[in-house]
Chain A
Amino acid sequence: MMPLYLGVDVGSVSTNVVAIDGKGEVVDARYLRTQGRPIEAIQQGMREIRTATSDGEIGGVGATGSGRTLAAAIVGADIVKNEITAHAVAALYEEPQVRTVLEIGGQDSKLIILQDGVVVDFAMNTVCAAGTGSFLDHQSTRLGVAIEQFGDFALQSTSPVRIAGRCAVFAESDMIHKQQMGYGLPDIVAGLCEALVRNYLNNVGKGKDLQGPVLFQGGVAANAGIHRAFERALELPVTVPEHHGVMGALGAARLVRDEALRGSFSGSAFRGFQIAGHTYRTRSFECDACSNACEIADISHDGEVVARWGGRCDRWQYRERERTAVSD
């Protein structure tokens, strides 16, 4: 049996695990909530994906997302890649001609511009969470509309209300204002979708020339209201890939598969599915060796240190990885 490749994407809101086969086809994909406990989410993901892999050989593991270093330490990864590159790789598999990738996740959003299959520009939102999944989550709870139906709700609208979407706080008060004025809920929800898209295009897409084909990825791509608002604003068809929610993990899996087939590493660093049953001890402390007062995090299993970081010097470094090759 051909080995499978795993991609693990640990984000602020969701932790996704994907298994692909040697041809790059998705065997299984899992979308889980991180809920502030990334290690447990990774373990749960491993437990779930294990069934789908029927204990087949794992040829390599790729880690991505803001928790990629943690994921790599826990699972044992052969490749650790930033989420921008991972998303771009996944998008290129989906649509080799892709020019624009819109990605909206739980707490950040990205825009990737490609040309001839190469990333030529990208942007990430900085300090503002308006328009990201967390904000939509919050609004759906407040309005009592399930997040899964939020988008369809927006589609019922015939004339969206104009909502100030510059800032999540203002957007919320403006929504409440419109609601107290008696506007219909679908029109308000649709207005919110348009406001968030406007905000995204103004902040993240500032000064960039967006051309088709356009892919819309990330958890928020499931929202039909946002999807439609993007198509209207860009005046371009926007495609939502089948595995839109796990594209980062998919990109990481495909990257590691490519590297494995290219022979860049021999024998995966994968620690095995048993890590799902491990008990990890995490602790943190402030180093008092100098005025930097670094906050050191230390993760161990059975008395063995799995990861330790946070220091600016070597004092708490527990092992050194040798670089496998010159990067170019």
Chain B
Amino acid sequence: MDKYSAEKLSTELLGKTIGGWLIEKYINHGKSAVVFLASKDAQRAAFKVFDPEIVDRYGRDAQRKRIERERSLIGKSHPNLVSVYDGGEQRDFLFVVMEYFDGKNLAEVLLDIPPSEFRSLISQIASAAKFLEEASLAHRDIKPENIGISSDMKSAKLLDFGVLRPFDLSNITNEGDQLYFIGTLQYSPPELLFREEEQSIEAWRAITFYQLGAVLHDLLMQKPLFEEFRNPYARLVRAVEKEIPLIDNPEADADLRLLAQNCLAKTPGHRLDTVKWEDFCQPKVADPMEAARRRIAQHRVAALQSSEAPISPGDLLGTQIFTLKTLIFSAVVSTIKTESFPRYSMTEMNKELHQYLLRVLFEPSEKSGLGCYFAVYCQGVVVDPTANFHELRTWACVSSTREAVPAEPESSAPSRTVKGALIEQDIRLHIQGCLLLAYAGALDTAVKGTGAVQWLKLGRDE
């Protein structure tokens, strides 16, 4: 709604009592509603009145359902979500009454938040979003402006309950609408932009993950997502559709960086494949060497990306599989070296253009107490070259004879997988972890019979 309509509504409502709430003061307005400060029995609250015009445009029944949904949250509370006190309908007005948050939002304080708080803040927001999902609701408008931040910068609260309905580009009729939309569009995944989203819990979750990723992007990069594409509007639309945000702050933790990158995948399926709710609440792994390596790796990635001329998808695949192969190989070799693995031999396989498999076969070694052969298979796949979306999969097995160790892993064998916009650091960590788990597993395993192959479990995962 525009400023004029908001003012008109304010003049009409200030000083009145609706649903027992006294409308005291105008706070702000959004696309579809005006928010006032209101009170009832000494309780202060944010009172949101929906724009009657919009209600008419989309149908009163639909809006009633929406208010019912929000009312379903009354009495249920979550520390990182504003509480809903009340909601209903009086005369022409549909309204919802919520906890009043008197503080700054994330967009206002973005640059003041200490990096040590990033992990905790994003996990708080995610936990609120998950709470909503469990109540069969989806916020769909998670963005820095809708996140309240406490004055000590330590806690976050998800404000508001999203847009009246999924916004639609065809509804944008004037400049005022456009300006308002920019804020939301900037943080919307492509499927919302094109109204291609499905109505399922997974589809909603994919939207939520994208928006959480966008918020995490802003924290890590210290700037709003697609800031440089805000004008003209068509550029922003294109960016939402095509642009892959580069998250390369050398100070950022590798896991958070990868999480944000994976959340911001253009395809909802990619997001759901690579992101799990738990990813938002992982503890920080502290290792200064890791941090240094990460910085070096990310600088390299940044340098590469900035110097790259646009290339065709075929070339992109060629370049990416080469890089993936080089990174896998070097991660394997450097792990073997630093962890003093026993003697080995390697076999490389390029079965298809987008796939690379490296088998490393280790020999029994008295010195290390290794009584059998063990092999680790690392497979890299370029899933989507334009999205920089890769999959890295690792298997391991033991056997009493060299000949019994297969050239390729069996299809039913357990594996460990990491997917997404992987950078050197992700690959290194994954391979390091898998090699160590496989080696420890091989040392622990009593090999049965001659020539049998036993597959090892590499920790969690499939």
- The answer to whether A and B belong to the same complex is no
